Amino acid sequence: MTDEALDPTAQAAPRFPPDLDMSRPTVARTYDALLGGKDNFEVDRQAAVEVEKLNPGTMQLVQDNRAFLVRGVDHVTASGVRQFIDLGSGLPAADNTHQVAQRSAPGASVVYVDIDPIVLAHGRAILADSPNTTVTTADLRDVDRVLESPDTQRLIDFAQPVCVMFVSLLHCIPDEDDPFGLVDRYFERLAPGSAVIFSHLASDDQTAAQQLTERIHSLGMEWGRVRFPEEIAHAFDSLEIVSPSTDGSAPPALVDCATWRNGSTVPEKRPADPDKKIWEHAAVGFKR
Ligand SMILES: C[S@@+](CC[C@H](N)C(=O)[O-])C[C@H]1O[C@@H](n2cnc3c(N)ncnc32)[C@H](O)[C@@H]1O
């Protein structure tokens, strides 16, 4: 990416600016800047430039992650699940969970949850004519609040399977908050047949992981860390992972999100390019 692609002086015009802290970047707004969105501020675009400089290819990585999200929602919808809780949903992008799910299952319900109030501000606008969809501001670590909020209770029937999405999310949660224990805390409340769509920034290179983690912290964002693939696998201790290949022939495993059920692409546990030291480690799984 060139600096011009993320011009920090470009004018963004958030549609409903609420009471937002513009003195430092946030994960939601910086991620939107990396995706080429407009719902961000100069401080976020500066942060996106810094991250891309340190880890060239981050812009492509976030595109690959969004494409994974779409394939994941398609897969789970095709398996018959009709209810989604999209945790850390981020700002609306090109193809959002409710649009993907409702394309093949028009009655599908979607609860978007994000800690950043800008997501609610922008989400309301795109959801105005989508009665089965809502967006709420909450911290995913407050499991009771997320699951018992009036929005969730109105749209989700917990006697039926629910898909909970942790897409590009748990690296935002520090170790002391037990990120993978959170997955279990959600799933112990869900019916059999419930699904998870999951991705997490991973690296097999200690230096690369540490540098990106430190840069994001130094930019002032609330964040956890890049983790190693073997740590991330613990998210699935109580769940059954599906094959990452479209024809189902590859053994169940977490893989680089760009290669998860992506046409005839062979699923890979890390990017083939050895210079790509950071990727989104991804899987879809079910509670049996
Ligand atoms: C990297 S973005 C991913 C957005 C979206 N899931 C995707 O994959 O395109 C991470 C999102 O998680 C949100 N987030 C971070 N910590 C959170 C928390 N504790 N509770 C809820 N949302 C959180 C951020 O505000 C941000 O919007």
Residue 207 lies in a domain: yes
How many structural domains is the chain composed of?
1
Confirm or reject: Cβ of 27 under 6 Å from ligand 1.
Answer: yes
- Of ligand 1's listed atoms, the one at least distance from the Cα of 93 is 9
The tokens of 34 are what? 């990396």
Residue 19 lies in a domain: no
Cβ burial 205-241 (10 Å sphere, 16+ → b, else e): eeebbebbbebbeebebebbbbbebeebbebbeebeb
Distance between first and last Cα of the chain: 43
- Sequence-distant (6+) residues with CB within 8 A of 62 are 31, 34, 35, 168
The tokens of 132 are what? 């089965």
β-pairing, 240-241 with 278-286? antiparallel
For the chain (288 residues), the mean pLDDT of every run of 10, in chain order, is 43 53 95 96 98 98 98 98 98 94 96 96 84 95 97 97 98 98 97 98 98 98 97 94 97 98 97 96 98
Residue 5 lies in a domain: no
| Closest C-alpha residue for ligand 1 atom 24 | 28
Ligand 1 mean position, distance from CA 262 (Å): 24
What is the reported pLDDT for 15?
47
CATH number at residue 232: 3.40.50.150
pTM for this one?
A: 0.94
* Structural domain that includes position 253: 58-286
Ligand 1 mean position, distance from CA 28 (Å): 6
Residue 97 lies in a domain: yes
Confirm or reject: Cβ of 116 under 6 Å from ligand 1.
Answer: yes
Strands (E), the chain: 83-87, 109-114, 133-137, 163-167, 195-203, 240-241, 255-256, 278-286
